[in-house]
Structure 1
Amino acid sequence: MAASGLLLGVAAVGLTTTNVVATWQDPIFGEGASFRAANIGFELSVNGGTQWTSAPTESQAATMALNTTSLTPGVSAYSRVDLRTTAGSPQVSVTVKGTPTGASAPLGDALRYTVIKEATSCTADAFGPTATYLAGSAAQGVGLQQVSTSFVLPAGTIVPRTPVSLCFRTTLPDTLAVWTTSSLRQQSTPLSWIFQGTAP
């Protein structure tokens, strides 16, 4: 069966973080004591880099580099994201989901993603039976808008904590439906990965 190129927009693939409460305080008085609420926040770094950002909007998102510019059914792309709490933040529970942001809804609906935690390398070999899966499994991924299992970023100290590393696998499934859907051919769609964080 001839392969039809299905394009996944690389330059436009973005990441979006959502911080629940960047900074706030609420004095509560009782028996002469004043309580200040914690500063809650986390940030991310992509592609194994050293630049950290808390992108509050999609337009400010960091760009994820993928190891391929086009996908045919059965082909996967991989990318790494590191997350950590900011200094002084309590621990943060984070979930992930993806969403297509372009006009090509069929391609966004067809793509599947898998996320594993604390992989030593972000390659196909990392997605084995002993990996810690937050979304999907070794055999297959899930729809982009399916929310991952939550994971915890340890509380920040005077300096930010050691990051938690995630590896993303984005796949165009090798199925008859994908091969025979003409509306998928030569389409592209940017993706946004949304990291939603809450404090306990």
Structure 2
Amino acid sequence: MAETLQRDEIIVREIVDTARVLFKKSGFKKTTMGDIARSLGKAKSSLYYYYPSKEDIFEAVIYAEMDELLDEIQQSLREASTSKEKLKAYCRCRLEKLSQLCNLSDALKSEIAELHCVMVEMKSKFDTTHVELVKEILAEGVSNGEFKKINEDNIELIAYLMVSSFRGLAVPLMVGQNRSPQLDLQIDSIVDIMVEGIGKR
């Protein structure tokens, strides 16, 4: 039983990894279940055992990207020495991932916007996960005295505002397709303002 589960996990990972390459190269619409099966050296029917449709495979690919980003963020947080540095590291990781996504084919980028029903649910889960992550960083900063005392409701509100602000920093990448050399300075400035405020001391 355990051996079967392990084999299934390996096959699922192979399907997702293969589909990811094909989606990035040719776009969602032009990539067929047959293309994915041929690249894997498997019969198309075997794919349907694991995923009922191409949309399900695409969803699995997006979730895999989200999990990878979360792993990268967690690694960068472990390397940061202060809560403030963790906020900067979090934002940089998000922008690095977006830089990679900007290198996708034009076809796939336009199709992602069209796959509204799939993306709305994913975006909601993504935002919820990242707000919780930033809440943990803020709570840690309050606990260790790095940040001023903030009640729990306000911590959630601030986390939501930060995640939204970091998303706004992505606009130059989405519009210009290239990472602005000023982006790192903008990250530092925004985190400084969020942590220290703009009031005169």
TM class by shorter chain equals under 0.3
Structure with higher strand content:
1
Q: Tell me which of the two structures has the higher relative contact order, counting C-alpha pairs closer than 8 angstroms and 6 or more residues apart.
A: 1
TM-score for the superposition, normalised by structure 1? 0.25
Larger radius of gyration: 2
Structure with higher helix content:
2
TM-score for the superposition, normalised by structure 2? 0.25
